[in-house]
Chain A
Amino acid sequence: MFLTFLTFLPLIGAVILAFLPKENEGQIKQTAVGFAAADFLLSLQLWFDFDNTTHQMQFEYSASWIPSWGISYHVGIDGISLLLFVMTTFLTLISIIASWDVKKSIREYMMAMLALSTGMLGVFISLDMFMFYVFWEFQLVPMYIIIGVWGGPRRIYAAVKFFLYTAVGSLLMLVAIIWIYFIIKEQTGVATTDLMYITEHLDVPLETQKWLFMAFFLAFAIKVPMFPFHTWLPDAHVEAPTAGSVILAGVLLKMGTYGFFRFNLPLFPYASNEFVPFIAWLSIIGIIYGALVSLVQEDLKKLVAYSSVSHLGFVMLGTFAFNHYGMQGALLQNINHGISTGALFLLVGMIYDRRHTRMIKEFGGLSKQMPKYAICFMIVALSSIGLPGMNGFVGEFLILLGIFQVNGMYAALATSGVIFAACYILWMFQRVMFQELKNPANMKLPDMNLREMITMVPLIVLIFWIGLYPKPFMKTFEASVSHLITKVDPGNFKPKQIKEHHAALIQQEDLAQMNKKLKGEKDKE
């Protein structure tokens, strides 16, 4: 019940906000921050109470929901979802603080933010496919509203594109869910959409697995986004308000990678192995393409958006390495990307609030005018590149280590993405922060204020914490990753063929011996 409470707490906050008077903006903001903070602090309790030694679901709660269809309300978290859950509450709090200066309809804005939080948390705790789908679609609406109402000039286009892209992918996933429902019903006689039960009992031939895998893949790949399904992302990021971008990069994209961990790999291990080259190449194209496109961007936010495509390519690559290094790296990089890119979007948002432009050529020499801002930006930028001692390094290193064991060429190509990342980030940093302070509009920019510092400091602390001592984070998902690997390990599938081969050989040998014996007996006679 604790999980349910944590998930719906923000929604309760949103409902309460609806009844507050519109004019009283201070009260509205305080209430919103209050709920977000309470949710974050309480969610830390999950982390403290979490048992790192098991892959089993924890804090589980299950109740019948639609018994005539065997649909239940089933929630729980394991190592894969724990950190994502906590990160969601954390980033919600940060983005609500970061939205302090929203002018237009602040009450509705905060309501949308809190409702969004409930939708995202629901996705991470759902252990029932039907319920997962409900939350997966539910969180679309508040995000759509946030982009469409509080976004930039092309916000309507971006919002509708965001909505339709995600809807197309997830509707095919719905077909797959119903299909699985009937397969399970036929195989075990139990009508259920319970994910744990299905993961344990689903047994479908490769051909069907491939179709089902593709349906889920499309839903998640659009969300991640993987090349070539990424085109909604730059639009959505550029037009979304700062907090929207933070949530989008920090949590919504992670729902895609989470989906692979929770659905594709354990449900369709055979198909997953079949699709490794396909996904690996898409990821590598995404890594390099995202990096190259970032290099030529003139808009800061667009640059960060495309860098997300590149970073998420790493996560996907690590996931499909199917070994400890790769998968742990992928899960850690999930968190890292949320922190680093979230921080980058916050920083871009700060400069946008001051100058109302994000064009790189408008800036230059900001470090002289805004030293605190420059330091923060430097740290975050370096973490995004993956400098040792910061979070990005640990994640990317593990991923590369993992993928190297699978295929050296994948690793070599992916590594080039790291180099490109250094190029586009450092070049951008140079053009914005250094050089001469020429533009008169930049001469009087105020440095970061206290509220902005409050949003940045925790992120920077996390950057160094994960970079220097990632163990508290890593150990939460070790058991779950080990368990998942036993399911999808390529070794499980190849030896099977060998064993079958063995069995065939043995049979032949047996037959030959039997024949000999028979002959011998005949000879004796």
Chain B
Amino acid sequence: MEPISAPASIDLVSLAPVLVLTAFAIGVLVLDLFGGKNKILLAFVSLVGLLVTAVSAFAKIKLPVYSFNDSYVVDHLSVFFIVIFTISSALAILISIDYNRRENIQAGEYYALILFCTVGMILLASSTDFIMIFLGIEIVSICLYVLAGIRRKDLKSNEAALKYFLLGAFATGFLLYGMALMYGASGTTNLVKIAGLLKDGEINSKPILLMGVVLLVIGFGFKVASAPFHMWAPDVYQGAPSPVTAFMAVGPKAAALAAFFRVFAETLPDIASSWETLLYVVAVLTMFLGNLGAIFQTNIKRLLAYSSISHVGYILIAIIAKNSLSSASILFYMLAYALMIFGIFGIIILLGQKGNENLEIENYSGLGFKHPVLAMSMTIFLLSLGGLPPFAGFVAKFYIFSAAIKEGYVILVVIAVINSAISFYYYLKVVVFMYMKEPVGELRVSISPVTLFVVALAVIGTIELGIFPDPIITLAQQ
């Protein structure tokens, strides 16, 4: 029997972010045993861990570096994504601190799960092998199942966790099946090798390959919540604790999109004709169903869930365009999106009380004149999500549209801007309630300096990225 040899190219330095973060996550778990009731220390350690991870992402200077038999890569895309992940996880932890205290979520593993989830996201964004992608997705998903149901005694939270778990497992099946078919057609699970084979036209069986592609679209479609595989998103987003919802909407989604981009735009461009139309339809459907669905929502979290579906639609446009601008535009978009989403959820958390989270939009009536700063911030986030200048969301959309128009997808972009116009309707609906309706009930702001800090940071970031986006664009375009 042939011994299984260790991979020739083990490069632990390139794996540094994963190792560091795993160590910190285990540390948090251990620390929890001795920490007692106060979980602030855990949050603090987690934040330090994320900071160290972000720094260690820059350990490699000459990029790209492939290691572990070309199944793990450190390139500009993955480094930038790691920065986005750590930022979003850090923001999620920050807005959790006071929320968890208020809602009595005293589980120490909460922070550890976020860290483990981040590990999964890093793997997902850095892998160039189907097996690694699968592992990454599983790590992320399992952590999220638990996080969504972390309020054990809350029915909604349980429902969210169970629904997410069932549909997620189902989707993983599709994904795995697709990967198996790809392997059957090409004889390898390595993305780089598959790309090479496709380029040379040395694929065994075209039909099997195409079936694999379709199943992959379905699997990834579930994970990023693109239509028609989006039905789980609103329920899960509504039921999960607010900080977890914000976290889910940004980090894991960005990671899945990164893998989506790697598989389709980087690995399969040579058979683009076979999946382009499919993705085109999916993107258009996603935008329309997301935006039209959001119009009828009265719950702010459901509204944001639908809006997040539509944003995936915009990002899919960049994947379809698959040119030099698309990866950079996805990076910029996700960064801007992270700021806006965490800002909004920060405000949502601030406006909730114990036992009454004030999630109906009409609860926000009269906010504009009672808490002008909060309302103004909320307005900025919403308009930025809609894509109004001079905010980050506009530059992000401009970027994606540029990528698409450069490749001649003018009709697709026209569809996207029509959707932007639709989206203004429901974003403005929230503004209407805040500024133009009489208050219905007492609306108190819970005092939480940390959450306020996140909101302030997000406002500054949203405006900064909107007015002076150049440094970030330069970074993203490398």
Residues of A whose CB lies within 8 Å of any CB of B are 65-69, 105, 108, 130, 133-134, 137-138, 140-141, 144-145, 148-149, 155-156, 159-160, 163-164, 167-168, 171-172, 174-175, 178-179, 181-182
**Does the CB pair A178–B402 fall under 8 Å?**
yes
Closest to A169 in B: B421
- Residues of B close to A171: CB separation below 8 A: 417-418, 420-421
Closest to B379 in A: A141
Which B462-478 residues have C-beta < 8 A from chain A? Answer: 469-470, 473-474, 477
Closest to A186 in B: B406
Q: Does B30 contact A (CB under 8 A)?
A: no
Q: Does B401 contact A (CB under 8 A)?
A: yes
Best-buried of A69, A148, A167 by chain B (most CB within 10 Å): A167
Distance (whole angstroms) from the CB of A175 to the closest CB of chain B: 5
Complex partner residue of A137 from B379, B388, B417, B474, CB under 8 angstroms: B388
Given A108-B372, A134-B390, is A159 in contact with B436 using a C-beta cutoff of 8 Å?
yes
- Residues of B close to A66: CB separation below 8 A: 469-470, 473
In the complex the two chains form, what is the Cα distance from A427 to B474 in whole Å? 64
**Does the CB pair A68–B477 fall under 8 Å?**
yes
In the complex the two chains form, what is the Cα distance from A181 to B425 in whole Å? 29
- Residues of A close to B477: CB separation below 8 A: 68
Closest to B389 in A: A134
- Residues of A close to B436: CB separation below 8 A: 148-149, 155-156, 159
**Does the CB pair A167–B389 fall under 8 Å?**
no
- Residues of A close to B398: CB separation below 8 A: 130, 174, 178
Distance (whole angstroms) from the CB of B241 to the closest CB of chain A: 32
Residues of B whose CB lies within 8 Å of any CB of A are 368-369, 372, 379, 383, 388-390, 394, 398, 401-402, 405-406, 410, 413-414, 417-418, 420-421, 424-425, 428, 432, 435-436, 469-470, 473-474, 477
Distance (whole angstroms) from the CB of A187 to the closest CB of chain B: 14
- Residues of A close to B470: CB separation below 8 A: 65-68
- Residues of A close to B474: CB separation below 8 A: 68
- Residues of B close to A160: CB separation below 8 A: 425, 428, 432
Given A68-B474, A149-B436, is A108 in contact with B469 using a C-beta cutoff of 8 Å?
no
In the complex the two chains form, what is the Cα distance from A177 to B138 in whole Å? 43
Distance (whole angstroms) from the CB of A363 to the closest CB of chain B: 30
At the interface, is chain B mostly helix, strand, loop or mixed? helix
Closest to A185 in B: B406
- Residues of A close to B473: CB separation below 8 A: 66, 68-69
**Does the CB pair B405–A149 fall under 8 Å?**
no
- Residues of B close to A65: CB separation below 8 A: 470
Q: List 8 A-B contacts (CB under 8 A).
A: A66-B473, A134-B389, A134-B390, A138-B388, A140-B388, A148-B432, A178-B405, A182-B405
In the complex the two chains form, what is the Cα distance from A145 to B435 in whole Å? 8
- Residues of A close to B410: CB separation below 8 A: 175, 179
In the complex the two chains form, what is the Cα distance from A134 to B369 in whole Å? 27
In the complex the two chains form, what is the Cα distance from A130 to B417 in whole Å? 16
In the complex the two chains form, what is the Cα distance from A108 to B417 in whole Å? 31
Given A108-B369, A155-B436, is A178 in contact with B401 using a C-beta cutoff of 8 Å?
yes
Closest to A151 in B: B436
In the complex the two chains form, what is the Cα distance from A140 to B394 in whole Å? 14
**Does the CB pair A172–B369 fall under 8 Å?**
no
**Does the CB pair B425–A175 fall under 8 Å?**
no
Distance (whole angstroms) from the CB of B143 to the closest CB of chain A: 36
Closest to B406 in A: A182
In the complex the two chains form, what is the Cα distance from A68 to B474 in whole Å? 6
Closest to B475 in A: A68
Given A68-B470, A108-B372, A167-B424, is A175 in contact with B401 using a C-beta cutoff of 8 Å?
yes
**Does the CB pair A174–B390 fall under 8 Å?**
no
In the complex the two chains form, what is the Cα distance from A133 to B397 in whole Å? 13
- Residues of B close to A148: CB separation below 8 A: 432, 435-436
